[in-house]
Structure 1
């Protein structure tokens, strides 16, 4: 079974009268994990088959090849199905509906069924997600993962319908979303992926789909524990301001809290393999006197049954008159606060650029360049350089490019929530300080 370790990074010292406690909580899962034989993993692949997938025809052809590659990457025994999405949704495989168990015969039949996929009709992603939930419910499975591929916007159902369906299916499975080409909306797919605790990314050229589908399926096959929640206890009189995943991507979990006991709430984190993630937890407590010490929060990981998984971490608050102690900023907290600001600056800068607001776009994207440079986020810095001409990265001095390709702008936007892990000192380095 996977083992979970919780480490808390913070500056516990607060000046007199202060009430806000911030901490970065690192959760590390190790071990091989065990999936019960009677409840295997389950995979659903959702392929956009709207009319636009045939313009050019290479999109649907590439989607078929990518789906076949994903099917080949499934472990023996994994339950799986393929859904074709248009303004409705239908199960392409297995023919009788439900899910099939992966083996040589079923893989061959599934790949043969892909020849029946045709591009025709509209786009109603809510219907696709709802059918996927029904397919998952047709068989008993613990680890549920879906891949959703589209090339367009959700034009054939109202936004409020998609919102209702997302609210209903949230927590039932994890869904990674991919947009092929440049005619889809990043914000739309991000809402789906964040609700379903998955990822979103652009595949600019259809030829890139096969490798991406293989990678997503391999990552899914590496998950061993499903429905893990971050459990947070806080003392009487405390208020949770927010709980956010800050690495590997930014996801605000604050509104996803479910009460699990007195002054205790659970925040969904989805499925885990052998990996590590960081969370920013902010708690407001009642100020105490100088010299007083308080347990401001207790953090652990729990299973769907409520059992604690691994170790538990503590958030502390100590009030002091020593300004040297109280003004020292936790490097972990500072780093991820900057990463959140970086993502926000990119989002606002691109929006201003699309709207023709040159002044705001220059200010925001310049700030993003400076933050990416300061945090050593080289990947984001490279993406920004495709959108702006960088004059001085340290100062954030830039010039907007006269012409920016849709691919470059959408790649920057879709990956703006991807963060870089803070570099932490070794114990020896901390002692030297």
Structure 2
């Protein structure tokens, strides 16, 4: 399904500058049955600070029966919503949705949005503090009401801040999958879990489709501060959209493009194109993994070939300074010493994906009562986090296991670990670390100003790559003389 964008009028700062870098290892074996070229695109946006806020905010607050106990939970949710409302600048459209098995208006009282002012903020605070919990949970109904509110408002950056403490138990009343298809491309949604009954993968299904992030709090009292920080960050988002276009050469095909940093986000191309629209930018860097496939039959060997061209644009930004389009290259080779390498950035984010898969497998095993298997999978996650140098992930894992030797994956499941500990870990694992320095792979480039798409050249070079150790299979820098894990000597890179 094509993602139809929010209205593009207004909001973009006067002089936005966009940078684009491509990091890849260009050498592929022509003997593979399905050769794929992976690259990481780093996109940087600067100069948005003078654009002024363009936000329209919907707060979707879980008011199902489970929010009544312990009482601190509903109180923390109310205080968080109030903190978010107080942070909204004058004139910002906003609304509060009361969520249970239905989505109903809490403030304003009709299906419309108020404009933030001293008066409307105080009225909304009184309504939020008076909310009473009861009923079930149907997240699809909450998002559908938010969609209708934001569609009527037509703000450049529509945002939904969703909070829940439970599972989507009344999905049959308004199936979430269908609602997400209707909402995709119309607003950004960040979702938070609170308490001990929420499902991290349900929240991730929402946020990955709606270009947001899933988070959680272990202590209810921490929620208001987290909401304040999140809204402060939202107010810096003054570029509603940025589009990434991938033009494959004849014989090549785009398999996927997905955001991998700072969080994992699904990207769907506009219908009939390879143009992917991303949402709500401030001054920030995001990274995307691009997968291309091509048939080497009949193609020249031992020379660089252009496999695709990547370009970015900012719809509606008349004065944006855009980078020159960048090439993705392929070099078909019969030399396994070249084709067995992997770009360091690609390897980093593929390791992060494997870490998330290990955490999910551990969660499923724990739900089935298979503690030994859960421990094994968490050991695998610790091993991956250690290899990546991901200290935050190791710290999170240490809440569930005692880590005896991270590099060997030797861990022991803590006796007091609970089901919700795994949900916190899944949500946190969707936030990736930055990874290796960008722009170091062969075929990479940086564009920070305007320029023509003509006359591509690619400087030769080895790039920054990783190689599997023949002794222990751990990845190591291609230029290393010895494996940093087991000490096995490496052959010199040709």
What TM-score, normalized to structure 1? 0.91
Q: How big is each residue's C-alpha offset from its partner over 1:70-121, in whole Å with a ceiling of 9 and x where there is no partner? A: 0111122211111111211222222344112222222222212223311122
User: Out of 81, 91, 95, which is 1:77 matched to?
Assistant: 91
- Counterpart of 1:167 in structure 2 is 181
| Unaligned ranges ≥5, structure 2 | 1-12, 441-462, 465-478, 480-494
- Counterpart of 2:281 in structure 1 is 272
- The alpha carbon displacement at 1:247 in A equals 1.1
Aligned-partner Cα distance in 1 for 2:260–2:23: 13
SS at match of 2:83: helix
Pair 296,56 (structure 1): closer, same or farther in 2 beyond 3 Å? same
User: Out of 20, 24, 44, which is 2:36 matched to?
Assistant: 20
* Mapping 1:300-311, distance limit 5 Å: 300-304=311-315, 310-311=322-323
Aligned-partner Cα distance in 2 for 1:17–1:259: 33
User: Out of 396, 400, 424, which is 1:383 matched to?
Assistant: 396
User: Out of 129, 141, 149, which is 2:163 matched to?
Assistant: 149
* Structure 1 position 336 matched with structure 2 position 349: yes
SS at match of 1:211: helix
Counterpart contact for 1:142–1:226, Cα < 8 Å:
yes
- The alpha carbon displacement at 1:33 in A equals 5.3
Counterpart contact for 2:209–2:265, Cα < 8 Å:
no
- Counterpart of 2:304 in structure 1 is 293
More helix by share: 1
- Counterpart of 2:148 in structure 1 is 134
Per mean C-alpha deviation after superposition, the further-off stretch among 184-193 and 107-116 is 107-116
- The alpha carbon displacement at 1:147 in A equals 0.3
Q: How big is each residue's C-alpha offset from its partner over 1:394-417, in whole Å with a ceiling of 9 and x where there is no partner? A: 111122333313443221121122
- The alpha carbon displacement at 1:257 in A equals 2.1
* Mapping 1:7-406, distance limit 5 Å: 7-17=21-31, 19-32=35-48, 35=51, 40-158=54-172, 161-253=175-267, 256-259=268-271, 264-287=273-296, 288-304=299-315, 310-311=322-323, 312-321=325-334, 323-406=336-419
| Unaligned ranges ≥5, structure 1 | none
Counterpart contact for 1:10–1:330, Cα < 8 Å:
yes
SS at match of 1:123: coil
Aligned-partner Cα distance in 1 for 2:129–2:413: 46
Aligned-partner Cα distance in 2 for 1:241–1:335: 19
Counterpart contact for 2:212–2:265, Cα < 8 Å:
no
Q: How big is each residue's C-alpha offset from its partner over 1:209-254, in whole Å with a ceiling of 9 and x where there is no partner? A: 101111111121111111323221111221222222111122343x
- The alpha carbon displacement at 1:13 in A equals 2.4
Counterpart contact for 1:89–1:127, Cα < 8 Å:
yes
Counterpart contact for 1:204–1:407, Cα < 8 Å:
no
- Equivalent pairs, count: 424
SS at match of 1:383: helix
Name the Cα RMSD after superposition.
Answer: 2.5
Q: How big is each residue's C-alpha offset from its partner over 1:55-81, in whole Å with a ceiling of 9 and x where there is no partner? A: 122222211111111011112221111
SS at match of 2:408: coil
- The alpha carbon displacement at 1:293 in A equals 2.7
Aligned-partner Cα distance in 2 for 1:385–1:257: 39
Pair 259,302 (structure 1): closer, same or farther in 2 beyond 3 Å? farther
Q: How big is each residue's C-alpha offset from its partner over 1:355-377, in whole Å with a ceiling of 9 and x where there is no partner? A: 12344323322111111011111
- The alpha carbon displacement at 1:317 in A equals 0.9
Aligned-partner Cα distance in 1 for 2:285–2:196: 32
Pair 409,7 (structure 1): closer, same or farther in 2 beyond 3 Å? same
Counterpart contact for 1:300–1:309, Cα < 8 Å:
no
